[in-house]
């Protein structure tokens, strides 16, 4: 018990205070567009333990804020503007944590400048922008720059292990939820500003919709219902949402999120229920299945704390087995259950040959794959352009079902 608590405390300390490593002779040099609060967690701290990454420069609308930010996080340069970072030949990559409504313009500007782009989620404000960005001819040229939407949770071993228990074609029902404590964001935060791509569906729904899309293996056919509650700043920007999607084959996916959740709502979870399927005796853990009988398994899987599993998480797998006469579910011979709880802070724990440390946050695993992609090496986990487009489509479907306007398209 004490060893487990010590390990938990040590891991969580190292997430924020990782050991710094020596840098390679020619590391990738990153510029950050915007002195954003998410920057340290998403890039600056993960870069400390990556030998091939240096944070070279930051720019902000307020030069004083950029200088304070650079001093606080030991960033080498303060650039005069976002564009000056893009014009700097020493910068290889840019990280864009700007307000949502500015993502499309500055991602496209960065690609035009030949920079690799790590784009904070949500990638853009709507499907129109997503299609234009991720299907841009700039990404199809020889030696094209890399573009990645920072859906960081999918890079962690916990998500890989969770998905190893999921069979998308057999999923009957899934639900993804994400809560933010009510004190986290002020009523006039940028998340409530329509012109900047505000709203809980974009801010939180990016996580929940992308999780559902991966669990079901594709886009839903329709959003059957989406209930929202507006924030106090702009009634077009929802504070919370609850949506239900119908997927091909009849599967139902639900998602919910709240930017001002009560403390009773804490854990961001994904829960999946499969349809009953016939499995072999070996899969069911029985020595032999008699002729004229079959075993049906119904599997439920829950990943608790899916967004930030490095801090703590659990994967609960519950299997129900029924042995009955073939073709006659009412003729039950016997039934039984099997359950297990799994955790994976490193790929090694999961039996996968991939680098990682227990203290690597989702963002550090993401950075590992981003650098691999830029360097032309194979990547094991990735958010493809079609994934980002599908996420945007699901969010637009939810807005339409809620009878709310889609977030505005950039004029750039």
Q: Could you say which DSSP state residue 170 is in?
A: G
Give the Cα separation of 152 and 148 in Å (integer).
10
Contact (CB, 8 A) for 381 and 369: yes
Give the Cα separation of 58 and 67 in Å (integer).
8
Q: Which residues pair with 168 in a beta bridge?
A: none
Buried b (16+ CB within 10 A) or exposed e, 100-121: bbbbbbbbbbbbebebbbbbbb
CA neighbor of 410 nearest in space, from 95, 126, 60: 126
Neighbour count for residue 30 (Cβ, 10 Å): 26
Burial of 162 (0-12, 13-18, 19+ CB in 10 A): buried
Q: Active-site residue among 121, 175, 260, 302?
A: 121
Give the Cα separation of 268 and 309 in Å (integer).
10
User: Quick one: tokens of 340?
Assistant: 């297990």
Give the Cα separation of 247 and 269 in Å (integer).
20
Is 121 among the residues known to form the active site?
yes
Angle among Cα 76, 80, 82 to the nearest 5 degrees reads 95
Q: Which residues pair with 28 in a beta bridge?
A: 53
Check the CA dihedral 49-52-56-60 and report its sign.
negative
User: Quick one: tokens of 72?
Assistant: 């606080």
Neighbour count for residue 22 (Cβ, 10 Å): 5
Active-site residue list: 121
């Amino acid at each position: 018990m004490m060893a487990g608590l010590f390990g938990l405390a040590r891991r969580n300390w190292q997430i924020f205070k990782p050991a710094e490593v020596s840098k390679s002779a020619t590391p990738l040099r990153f510029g950050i567009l915007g002195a954003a609060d998410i920057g340290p967690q998403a890039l600056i701290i993960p870069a400390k333990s990556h030998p091939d990454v240096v944070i070279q420069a930051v720019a902000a609308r307020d030069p004083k804020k950029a200088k304070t930010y650079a001093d606080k996080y030991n960033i080498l340069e303060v650039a005069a503007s976002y564009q000056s970072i893009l014009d700097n030949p020493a910068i290889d990559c840019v990280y864009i944590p700007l307000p949502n409504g500015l993502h499309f313009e500055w991602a496209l500007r960065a690609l035009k400048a030949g920079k690799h782009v790590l784009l904070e989620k949500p990638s853009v404000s709507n499907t129109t922008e997503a299609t234009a960005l991720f299907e841009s001819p700039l990404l199809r040229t020889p030696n094209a720059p890399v573009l990645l939407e920072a859906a960081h949770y999918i890079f962690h071993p916990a998500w890989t292990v969770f998905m190893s228990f999921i069979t998308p074609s057999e999923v009957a029902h899934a639900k993804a939820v994400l809560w933010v404590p009510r004190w986290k964001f002020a009523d006039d935060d940028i998340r409530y500003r329509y012109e900047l791509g505000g709203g809980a569906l974009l801010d939180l729904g990016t996580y929940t919709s992308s999780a559902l899309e991966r669990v079901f293996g594709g886009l839903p056919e329709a959003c059957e219902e989406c209930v929202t509650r507006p924030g106090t700043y702009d009634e077009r920007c929802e504070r919370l949402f609850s949506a239900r999607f119908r997927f091909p084959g009849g599967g139902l996916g639900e998602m919910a999120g709240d930017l001002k959740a009560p403390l009773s709502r804490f854990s961001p979870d994904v829960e999946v229920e499969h349809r009953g399927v016939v499995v072999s005796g070996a899969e069911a853990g029985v020595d032999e299945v008699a002729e004229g009988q079959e075993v049906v398994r119904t599997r439920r899987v829950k990943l608790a704390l899916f967004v930030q599993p490095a801090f703590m998480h659990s994967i609960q797998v519950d299997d129900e087995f029924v042995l009955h006469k073939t073709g006659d579910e009412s003729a039950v011979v016997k039934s039984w259950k099997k359950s297990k709880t799994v955790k994976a802070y490193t790929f090694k724990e999961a039996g996968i040959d991939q680098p990682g440390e227990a203290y690597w946050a989702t963002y550090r695993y993401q950075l590992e794959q981003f650098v691999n992609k830029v360097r032309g090496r194979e990547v094991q986990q990735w958010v493809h352009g079609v994934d980002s487009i599908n996420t945007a489509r699901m969010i637009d479907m939810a807005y339409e079902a809620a009878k709310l306007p889609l977030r505005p398209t950039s004029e750039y």
